[in-house]
Structure 1
Amino acid sequence: MSGVPPDPPRDGELLSAAVKAVRRHRGLTTAEVAAAMNMALRTYERFESGATRLNLDHIHRFAAATNSDPYALILAVVIGSPEFARRSADNKMATILTIAVQRFDRTIQDRLLDLDARTLIAAVTGMFDTLLDGDETSEQAQAWLKTGAAELLATRPKPGR
């Protein structure tokens, strides 16, 4: 044993595993998803295999085609957990977090500079501790998510250069 840890998976490998997990969770074939994304099957296969660079437009198109969470797909790569994308596909957890961060940024603006890491860590870990205690769903929460998702989409750069 050399004591050298194995190389972590590449971003493409992580995204590939996340996309496959979500597609399988939805019970869809590659051809069905490619068609829903308005994409040639071979292009979709390259995307799903992780052979291409991370493409935010493809991630958002995939999420729309599979009714999943595009931000969970991105976070799955960031945190090294492809299963996070599958687990968040229905409840849109990462989209909810992104909406909350967007609204917080818009509200607090430059006062964000004055928040120290200790305060942020306490707030965020406190939120997750509360989530561990139980979960609730409501029509109000669904309306909040729908409005926030529309706001995220409106501020997202359009594909292309």
Structure 2
Amino acid sequence: MTIDSTDEPDPALLGRVFRRLRQHRKLSVVQVAEALGMPPRTYTNLEAGNARIHFERIKRFAAFADVDPVAMQTSTMFGSDAMAMACCENKLMMINLLSMEELFDELGDGIGDLDSRTIIAGFDQLKAGLIAAARKPDPFAENWTASKRSSVVAWGISIKSLLSRKNRPPP
């Protein structure tokens, strides 16, 4: 996968992301259209790639379908719906974004003082840890994640609780 540098997300690809996630969740067009406050025909056009889709609509869909809105948007940058499908259960991209928000809250403009090599090394460590965890799931982490599922379900409701210091599992 490579990142596509187009300015506008591809409506056909984003429509396919919506369709695949809707089907994965076994939701009907009517159910999703009602949740998004639009006629079913308009939603069908959205899935067909015949409509521009703003992030607010992605967030509403993600909250209703319990999927990762950031992965949906990121999928368009990668030119594939694979990221959205892979992250729909664990909300990896949303958690990543919220972690970056916490980092900014902590460091503010000091983020600019971080050396690129330090950032790359940190992400390499994180990536290695996630790869290891994916190959050998940790029951504690699975139970912890399950207990936080309701916080992750809807974007913007109490998602900050997922990453608050008091709710983090020990390292």
Give yes or no for TM over 0.5.
yes
Describe the shift of the 1:80–1:56 C-alpha distance in structure 2 as closer, same or farther (beyond 3 A).
Answer: same
1:20 and 2:25 aligned: no
Supply the distance in 2 between the matched residues of 1:103 and 1:89 (Cα, whole angstroms): 22
Supply the distance in 1 between the matched residues of 2:76 and 2:85 (Cα, whole angstroms): 12
| Partners of 2:151 and 2:159 within 8 A in 1 | no
1:132 and 2:137 aligned: no
| Structure 1 partner of 2:165 | none
| Structure 1 partner of 2:98 | 99
| Structure 1 partner of 2:110 | 111
Describe the shift of the 1:73–1:118 C-alpha distance in structure 2 as closer, same or farther (beyond 3 A).
Answer: same
SS of the aligned residue for 2:32 comes to helix
Structure 2 portions without partners, runs of 5+ = 1-5, 161-171
| Partners of 1:72 and 1:88 within 8 A in 2 | yes
1:146 and 2:145 aligned: no
- The total of aligned residue pairs comes to 145
| Partners of 2:34 and 2:40 within 8 A in 1 | yes
Supply the distance in 2 between the matched residues of 1:54 and 1:105 (Cα, whole angstroms): 28
Describe the shift of the 1:92–1:119 C-alpha distance in structure 2 as closer, same or farther (beyond 3 A).
Answer: same
| Structure 2 partner of 1:49 | 48
Pairwise CA RMSD of aligned residues?
A: 2.5
After superposing the two structures, state which structure 1 stretch, 144-153 or 68-77, moved more. Answer: 144-153
Supply the distance in 2 between the matched residues of 1:27 and 1:101 (Cα, whole angstroms): 32
